[in-house]
Structure 1
Amino acid sequence: MKTVLYKHDDLGKYFAQHLSAMTSAITPKQIDRLWQDIVMRYGEPQRAYHTLNHIEQLLVQLENINHILSEPHIIALALYYHDVIYDPTRSDNELRSAEFATDTLSPYLSPEQYQQIHALIMMTANHQIDTLVASDKYNDAAYLLDMDLSILGAPWTAYEQYAKAIRQEYKHVAADNYRDGRTAVLQGLLAHPKLYLTDHYYNQLETQARDNIKRELTSLAAL
């Protein structure tokens, strides 16, 4: 895989490129306003993992696979907006992010485009592909979901930082409750026959991801 490093200014440029490639009904000033709103939201104080750094990591991966996606611009916008609303005390962040994306983008995109983005964001709630997804869209959806879970298959040092950041986001939860809740989430992941839907990610990350999850479970059990 090639490695691409972005600064947050670059993320704004790529946001503008993806959005302007999909519509001519938007001005640079309007794009910049949308981007500044994204920056503000991903910089909120309750975030430790779900920040622009997370978006950057996903866009680096998108650069490696966009040639095999049918609609890379749709996937890019879904990535930018999939965590735009994030409140660790709530369980409807994906729905609120999807609705936010729809409200924000509908003046500029076609109904098919913003409805696709809404559907993709909603799939990140349970990381399962909606059965209504057309066959020609399945590949794109699978890659988006695998990208979002790719941190699970990172080297242990990166995974450990991710786990610590998630704990920080849930600092309002008592230690025992967090241990029990996080353990249930991780055990639920291990119960899936495959964590990754695409061969690309399965072959590269599946084994490491399962090892990481088991290692975190061991750490949680010791608390």
Structure 2
Amino acid sequence: MTSLPPPESERSRDTSLSASWHGDLQVLAPEAPASLRTGEVELLLSRWSEPQRRYHTVQHLVEVLQAIEGLAAAGEVDTVGARLARVAAWYHDVVYDPRAASGSNEHRSAALARDHLNALGVARGSVDVIEALVLMTLDHDASAGPAALASRRHTVEVLHDADLWVLSAPVARYREYARQVRAEYAHVPDDLFTHGRSAILSQFLQREDIYRTGHARRHWRAQAHRNLTTELARLRA
């Protein structure tokens, strides 16, 4: 049976994403043939569209990239850092299996990023930073990390906050996000999911600051606290 073409809005979205990818890779890997860059972005989009995903989808990728752009526009990171953060965003959940052991997805995503960016001809220093950024998303500890991130503090903070933007989303989007997370973990019994999810939300609420950049603290933090508190109360009811 012939498959239907994607809706126009989806095609437009993917075209915009591909243009962003090519723009960044033309700078990071100027010698890479266009066909190689195209093959990679098509692979990435197919990974982000896998059927087991409910939250970690192209929608999440778009939101992270948009958040990076907003933080860059607010002066939280320079042009080079924003580019590295965007490329890291493409890879940070490229491997995603909700049944995988803790940390497996992030480590496998980081390894894939290193292998594929090396094949594209990205400079070793940039590959090191991108790999480390992907691994940072494992525990969202923006203060730690390898030496590769020592001079990229603002880049780390921007990707950290962009990946957690959804916590500060408008109420309707946050509720959708919570439903998507539950759907992704549909194989987990309700009591175990409630316990694990409550622990994660509580950890974020107990942090001195959910976000690391000044812009996110000023504009995202209050809404994030409201969203997290509301969901936690619902889970405990």
TM-score (norm 1): 0.93
Q: Secondary structure at the match of 2:106?
A: helix
2: CA distance between counterparts of 1:131 and 1:33?
31
C-alpha displacement of 1:158: 0.9
Q: Does 1:101 align with 2:107?
A: no
- For structure 2, the residue ranges without an aligned partner over 5 or more in a row are 1-11
C-alpha displacement of 1:205: 1.1
2: CA distance between counterparts of 1:171 and 1:15?
32
Coordinate RMSD, CA, aligned: 1.6
C-alpha displacement of 1:102: 0.4
C-alpha displacement of 1:8: 1.5
Q: Secondary structure at the match of 2:186?
A: coil
Match of 2:163 in 1: 148
Q: Secondary structure at the match of 2:21?
A: helix
Match of 1:3 in 2: none
Match of 1:110 in 2: 123
Equivalent residue for 1:66, pick from 67, 72, 89? 72
Q: Does 1:79 align with 2:89?
A: yes
C-alpha displacement of 1:22: 1.1
Instruction: Give the partner amino acid of 2:93.
Output: D
C-alpha displacement of 1:221: 1.4
Equivalent residue for 2:60, pick from 54, 58, 64? 54
C-alpha displacement of 1:64: 2.5
Count of residues paired in the alignment: 218
The worse-fitting range, judged by mean Cα deviation, of 125-134 and 6-15 is 125-134
2: CA distance between counterparts of 1:44 and 1:131?
29
Q: Does 1:29 align with 2:35?
A: yes
C-alpha displacement of 1:34: 0.2
Match of 2:229 in 1: 214
Q: Does 1:88 align with 2:98?
A: yes
Instruction: Give the partner amino acid of 1:93.
Output: N
Residue by residue, what CA displacement relative to the aligned partner does 1:158-197 show, whole Å, maximum 9, x if unpaired? 1110000000000010111111110111111111111001
Q: Does 1:9 align with 2:15?
A: yes
2: CA distance between counterparts of 1:101 and 1:169?
23
Q: Does 1:121 align with 2:127?
A: no
Q: Secondary structure at the match of 1:7?
A: helix
Match of 2:24 in 1: 18
Match of 2:49 in 1: 43
